Amino acid sequence: VSMGYTHIDTALVYRSQKQIGAVLAAKFMSGELRREDVFITSKLFHGEMAGLTRRGSTLPLDDMTPEEVAEAIEGQFELILEELGVGYVDIMLMHWPAIMDSKNKNNAARRLAAWKVLENMLERGQARAIGVSNFSEHHIEQLMKDGAKVLPHVNQIEASVYKSWHDIKAYCDEKGIKLMAYSPLGLGKESLLNDPVVLSIAKDKGLAPSQVALRYLIQQEYAVLPMSSSEERLRLNLDLFSFTLDEDEMNKLSALG
């Protein structure tokens, strides 16, 4: 925040919201920031996963009725606002469409039940926008067909030079759904910062590899969510609008995905 970042991306399952709330409260009280100066995205509706199940932050979705889901999501929404210490979030997302790899026949009904809660929170002003995360075009189409009144404003997906989802991007572009890219620099062994193509373009332009990789997504109209603990990297990741990639460079990067 002190460096100029104003978009905070968090989630109930991250267990980082109390710390974020404490920092923001100090900034608000000192007058350094106002609530409208920061843009907060959070997420709920995360099914239980091996190694990730945390009391109160994940849900045993396959064992829940739609009515139970709605009640749980109401509680999760209230908890998020309480932990952050704010009266509203700028975007609230459904974290996943279902438990990973679940084929449960009631998944669609549970998604709709959760989405109805988000629609109510949007109407009440506790969320300025609502959206989804990790949803395919099928999930969004099903949600609307089943009775959703509000089309998701955002779909947050994993995207990078190495991961190009042409179908979901085309669908979201057509529907006017904004795409956010998480893990835009790759994950683990997929880290693209040492890729020869990325390195070559970065060297030619006098840039860091991360700047090239992030600018690639920005020119495809993604909102990017890079993560780093390095102050130098954080500063570099802010400087993405003083240069552009030409058509040849974009094509070279596109070929990697």
Contact of 23 with 55, CB cutoff 8 Å: no
User: Residues 6 or more apart from 91 whose CB is under 8 A from it?
Assistant: 39, 40, 41, 42, 127, 128, 129, 130, 131, 153, 154
14 is catalytic: yes
Who contacts 77 (Cβ-Cβ below 8 Å, separation ≥6)? 44, 92, 117, 118, 121, 126
Burial bucket for residue 124 (CB in 10 Å: 0-12, 13-18, 19+): exposed
3-state secondary structure of 24: helix
Identified catalytic residue from 5, 14, 88, 222:
14
Using an 8 Å Cβ cutoff, are 6 and 38 in contact? yes
Q: At what angle do helices 209-218 and 247-254 cross, to 10 degrees?
A: 100
DSSP assigned state of 148: -
For residue 93, the one-letter residue type is: L
Residue 32: partners with Cβ closer than 8 Å, 6 or more residues away: none
Positions marked catalytic: 14
